[in-house]
Amino acid sequence: MAHSQQEVLAGLAELVNDETGIAADAVQMEKSFTDDLDIDSISMMTIVVNAEDKFSVKIPDEEVKNLITVGDAVTYITANQD
């Protein structure tokens, strides 16, 4: 079942909150994972793996470095869902 962009953003915000404690409503499309949200690489990998499970999507390691902003991740996940 494909998720809408809005659903992916909300789900991703939940994963970020769960991993880091950052308030879900602070996870907005234009925010950078590292510069704005201060998420380290280890947390990022955990979030990516959990996102793969949650949205039935594969996010290859070489793709992760391109996911600079929350919007990048939401776009990638929305476009690549099974």
Partner 1 sequence: MRRVVVTGIGATTPLAGDAMSSWEALLQGKSGIATLEQDWVAKYELPVTFAGQAKIAASSVLSPQEAKRLDPSSQFALISAREAWADAGQPEVEPERLAVDFATGIGGVQTLLDAWSTLQERGPRRVLPMTVPMLMPNGPAAAIGMALGAKGGARTAVSACASGNEAIANAFHRIQRGEADVVVAGGAEAAIHPLPIAAFAAMHALSRKNETPEEASRPYDIDRDGFVMGEGAGALVLESLESAQSRGANIYCEIVGGSVTSDSYHITAPDPEGAGAARAMLDALEQADASIADVEHVNAHATSTPVGDIAEYTAVNRVFGTHTENLVIAATKASTGHLLGGAGAIEAIFTILALKQQQVPPTINLDNQDPAIPLNVPRSMARLQRPDAVAISNSFGFGGHNAVLVFRNI
Q: Which residues bind partner 1 (CB under 8 A)?
A: 18-21, 41-43, 45-46, 49, 52
Nearer to partner 1, 29 or 49 (CB): 49
At residue 57, what is the residue type?
Answer: V
Distance CA 2, CA 67 (A): 20
Distance CA 50, CA 36 (A): 21
Of residues 43, 56, 55, the one with CA closest to residue 12: 55
Residue 81 CB, shortest distance to partner 1, in Å, is 18
Residue 30 CB, shortest distance to partner 1, in Å, is 24
Residue 42 CB, shortest distance to partner 1, in Å, is 4
Nearer to partner 1, 20 or 78 (CB): 20
Distance CA 58, CA 13 (A): 18
Nearer to partner 1, 29 or 38 (CB): 38
